[in-house]
Structure 1
Amino acid sequence: MADRVPLDFDPPVRRIRALLFGVTDAHLTAPTPCPDWSVGDLLDHLMSLCWAFTQAAQKKTDGVTASPPPPASAANLSPHWRSRLPVVLEDLSTAWKQPTAWEGTAQAGGVTMPAAAMGSVAINELVMHGWDLARATGQEYAADPRILEHLIEFLSQGPAEGTPGLFGPVIDTDDEATLLDHAVALAGRNPRWRPAPR
């Protein structure tokens, strides 16, 4: 069914699920490429965004989807995140396999937009935060080139100074930049980011 919808969520979902095996308890307080976020904060955000974008795909609107999400915080991370996060990731991927998810409008985090654009935002969140998690925990990261090409086109439409709350200012890259580096830079991240030695 994935070939009947614009984007397949399975590749970034599988990648994040694989990365989770390399996340130790010691990593939870480590910094990430997201300013002021620890790995624990990032995992809490992933839990929240999976739920929100699943609701968006299913066209569910209520008082929760109509409001901005709470700030990401490791203090709110479920103690069962290792078993829960893979499940909500799969729920997200399954929801966006339905052609109706891409039709009309969708609502998440207090924002309503065309459903196709919402799908692009959702898959961008998965790819970027997958990259964040890999970098923060010293793991390799790869993304589907077709998704990266779509994200580069999507992100190139945004302002170079970034979008507060979503993307930082675009980072310059050279002609040798990979598709992944280019997409990461357009999202306001430094492709060369590495955690400081501990």
Structure 2
Amino acid sequence: MTDSIFDLGPQTRVVARLVEGVTDEQLRDVTPCPGTAVRNMLGHLLGLSVAFRDAARKDLGVMTDTAPDTAASDIGPGWREDFPKILDGLAEAWRDPAAWTGMTRAGGVDLPGEIAAAVVADELVVHGWDLARATGQPYDPDPTALQASYTFLLAVAEDPTGGGGIFGPVVPVPADAPLLDRAVGLSGRDPGWKP
């Protein structure tokens, strides 16, 4: 799925900047993820960051066994202070080459470490786009994480047993569109979405 180990740090820093740019007034705004407000997207990002940090460490338990539910996720008090620390911990955990080997678990699903790395890169890229679009912020994802996300989403979309897109039906995007637009379309989102 991935050609080599890569650093999630550049993408976690992009997400941290987006989170920092969210105002309290935007927390109830809609996102491109149907039925999900900004506060729920933030809660989902926080939860998945903890789960995939633990998956990298092979520290399996409640966080790695819990299936994701974006719409039900929410933020708690202190979320602004928690995000940078948790995102830094996520990136640091995936810098260990052992995270990329053997089996691990995330969202209650057992999967190889290298696939888990592709999944978390995809989550950070796609949900970073969701957050940027919902809050009107510019978005320039890390190119390596974007490529990993696109490669993962394309493999899922082309898998005859996978049922198409991972987050919803694939939205057709021209083949010459920017890579981010193509990844967003593969994720089941319209790259032209606006609030």
The answer to whether the superposition gives a TM-score over 0.5 is: yes
- Structure 2 distance, partners of 1:150, 1:126, is 11
- Offset of residue 152 of structure 1: 1.9
Q: Which residue of 2 aligns with 1:50?
A: 49
| Other structure's SS at 1:159 match | helix
- Offset of residue 158 of structure 1: 1.2
Q: Which amino acid aligns with 1:27?
A: Q
Q: What are the within-5 Å matches in structure 2 for residues 88-127 of structure 1? A: 88-127=86-125
Q: Which residue of 1 aligns with 2:184?
A: 184
- Structure 1 distance, partners of 2:71, 2:146, is 25
Structure 1 contact 11–144 (Cα < 8 Å) conserved:
yes
- Offset of residue 127 of structure 1: 0.7
Q: Which residue of 1 aligns with 2:16?
A: 17
- Structure 1 distance, partners of 2:121, 2:130, is 14
Q: Which residue of 1 aligns with 2:193?
A: 193
Structure 1 contact 44–72 (Cα < 8 Å) conserved:
no
- Offset of residue 126 of structure 1: 0.6
Q: Which residue of 1 aligns with 2:79?
A: 81
Q: Which amino acid aligns with 1:73?
A: A
- Structure 2 distance, partners of 1:23, 1:67, is 27
| Other structure's SS at 1:125 match | helix
Structure 2 contact 41–70 (Cα < 8 Å) conserved:
no
Q: What are the within-5 Å matches in structure 2 for residues 113-192 of structure 1? A: 113-159=111-157, 161-162=163-164, 166-192=166-192
- Structure 2 distance, partners of 1:51, 1:64, is 7
Q: Which amino acid aligns with 1:40?
A: R
Structure 2 contact 157–186 (Cα < 8 Å) conserved:
no
Q: What percentage of residue pairs aligned between the two structures are identical?
A: 43
| Other structure's SS at 1:106 match | strand
**Structure 1 consecutive aligned stretches of length 4 or more whose deviation exceeds 3 Å:** 69-74, 159-163
Name the CA shift for 1:70/1:190 in 2 (closer, same or farther; >3 Å).
closer
Deviation string 1:54-85 (CA, Å, 9 cap, x unpaired) is: 110000122442332455436x4111111011
The TM-score with structure 2 as length reference comes to 0.89
- Offset of residue 10 of structure 1: 1.0
Name the CA shift for 1:54/1:36 in 2 (closer, same or farther; >3 Å).
same
Over the aligned positions, Cα root-mean-square deviation in angstroms equals 1.7
Structure 2 contact 49–90 (Cα < 8 Å) conserved:
yes
Larger helix percent: 2
Structure 2 contact 32–189 (Cα < 8 Å) conserved:
yes
- Offset of residue 101 of structure 1: 0.3
Structure 2 contact 54–63 (Cα < 8 Å) conserved:
no
- Offset of residue 12 of structure 1: 1.1
Structure 1 contact 40–73 (Cα < 8 Å) conserved:
no
Structure 2 contact 11–124 (Cα < 8 Å) conserved:
yes
The TM-score with structure 1 as length reference comes to 0.88
Gaps of at least 5 residues in structure 2 are none
1:60 aligns with 2:48: no
